Amino acid sequence: MLLSLMIFAFLASLTVCGLCIRQTRNWGVDTVQAGPQKFHVRPTPRIAGLGLLTGMFAAAIVLRMSDGTLEAKTLVLLIVAGLPVFLAGFAEDCTRKVSPKWRLIAAFLSALVAAGLLGGVLTRYGLPVLDSLVANNKTFALLLTVFAIGGVCHAFNIIDGYNGVLGGSALFVAAALAYVAYKTGQQGVLVASVALMGSLLGFLVWNFPAGLLFAGDGGAYLVGFLLAEMSVLLVEGGRGAVSPWFPMLLMIYPVFETLFSIYRKKHLRKMSPGVPDGLHFHMLVYKRLVRWMVGSDDVAAKIRRNSLTAPYLWAVTLSAVLPALLFWQSERLLQGACLAFVLFYLWTYTRIVRFRVPRWWVLRKRG
């Protein structure tokens, strides 16, 4: 049944994403954008969130038809809760007039809706002092959960910069959530994770490596919300079997990228954290590691260079996902792995900035 679920989600996402590519020329939303965070070289639609959302709905229909009533209800409620943040992001994709503040507010609203519909409130963090506070104050627990989910939504939007980066990274995280959900018998999270995997694969057919379609803010915020909310449900539904540090390690790359970017902009560059710049980790990888075709004006070469950035970031994501899968039952080891990732990130970022990376990291043109 899980395979059928993934296939239907894949086909629905694939079809709608393909239609988006075909039709958006008439909608006026496939424009090349300028700015420090824009690296595509041809007009490209950025409304793949429609395909991702459709894939999730298709999975819910399959579940309902196969008598998976409870799982279908959970999936539908999860989708409904994600609509505010998706719609805010999609409106930005189409109009360019929805500020980051309002998108973040929409993410908070989605988290609140999920808390009401699904009971998605995190009551354990694996930190004694914080656990004591949330145990004694339900309002504080709700607010902290809402803040965390909103932060993850924004984090996944930040790493959406190159062909395949968001889709591939999210696919690895969703697969890890599905595995632990299966091990702990949490069918609702399992089917939602599998549905998201199918939807992401349908999107990736068009996004990687050709870059014919982007997730956009609607897609990135929706994916971030789904992964964050499924993580909350997994930890809470595990009755202590799943550490909150498991999803933390799974998503530490986009989360720490966001935190470090805020620190870098505010304290090192003396600028507003909300102002975009060209110094995110994935941008440095593109500029300083994938440079075998730097200087070429050929469109095909630029698209290929763009796509070659993704495997670097997939490796970064997997460096966190793999130990999370190995140690998902050990809170201390998960915490240690989180610390190790932070140190690895900072070391790697510094080496790239200073042009001191190992030579085998750098792609160069042959011949």
Q: pLDDT tens per residue, the chain (367 residues)? A: 889 999 999 999 999 999 999 877 555 454 445 544 455 556 788 899 999 999 999 999 998 888 667 788 899 999 999 999 999 999 999 888 999 899 999 999 999 999 999 999 999 999 999 999 999 999 999 999 999 999 999 999 999 989 999 999 999 999 999 999 999 999 999 999 999 999 999 999 999 998 999 999 999 999 999 999 999 999 999 878 999 999 999 999 999 999 999 999 888 888 877 777 788 999 999 888 886 555 566 667 777 888 889 999 999 999 999 999 999 999 999 999 999 999 999 999 999 999 888 887 887 665 4
Distance CA 64, CA 316 (A): 37
Q: Is residue 366 part of a domain?
A: no
Residue the block writes with tokens 């409304």: 47
Backbone torsion region of residue 280, taken as left when φ is above 0, otherwise alpha when ψ lies between -120 and 50, otherwise beta: beta
Cα within 13 Å of Cα(17), Cβ side: 32
Whole-number pLDDT of residue 68: 64
Q: Which of 297, 262, 292, 296 is nearest to 279 (CA)?
A: 262
Whole-number pLDDT of residue 151: 95
Distance CA 352, CA 358 (A): 9
Cα within 13 Å of Cα(276), Cβ side: 13
Q: Is residue 288 part of a domain?
A: yes
Q: What domain count does the chain have?
A: 1
Q: Is residue 186 part of a domain?
A: yes
What is the token pair recorded at 163?
């062909």
Do the beta carbons of residue 82 and residue 233 sit within 8 Å? no
Residue 216: exposed, middle, or buried by beta-carbon count in 10 A (0-12, 13-18, 19+)? buried
Do the beta carbons of residue 8 and residue 58 sit within 8 Å? yes
Sequential DSSP letters for 314-338: HHHHHHHHHHHHHSTT-HHHHHHHH
Distance CA 364, CA 289 (A): 8
Q: Where are the alpha helices (DSSP H) in the chain?
A: 2-27, 49-65, 69-95, 100-118, 128-136, 138-158, 165-183, 187-207, 216-237, 245-250, 252-263, 281-288, 299-326, 331-353
Q: Is residue 236 part of a domain?
A: yes
pTM: 0.93
Whole-number pLDDT of residue 185: 94
Do the beta carbons of residue 245 and residue 131 sit within 8 Å? no
What is the token pair recorded at 186?
């949490």
Whole-number pLDDT of residue 30: 47
Distance CA 5, CA 67 (A): 13
Distance CA 56, CA 75 (A): 8
Whole-number pLDDT of residue 44: 83
* 262 Cα distance to chain centroid: 18
Q: Is residue 367 part of a domain?
A: no
Whole-number pLDDT of residue 296: 63
Domain that holds residue 27: 2-361
Q: Where are the alpha helices (DSSP H) in 28-48?
A: none
Whole-number pLDDT of residue 361: 81
Q: Is residue 130 part of a domain?
A: yes
Sequential DSSP letters for 178-246: HHHHHHTT-HHHHHHHHHHHHHHHHHHHHHTTT-----HHHHHHHHHHHHHHHHHHHHHHTTTSS-THH
Do the beta carbons of residue 286 and residue 306 sit within 8 Å? yes
Do the beta carbons of residue 169 and residue 226 sit within 8 Å? no
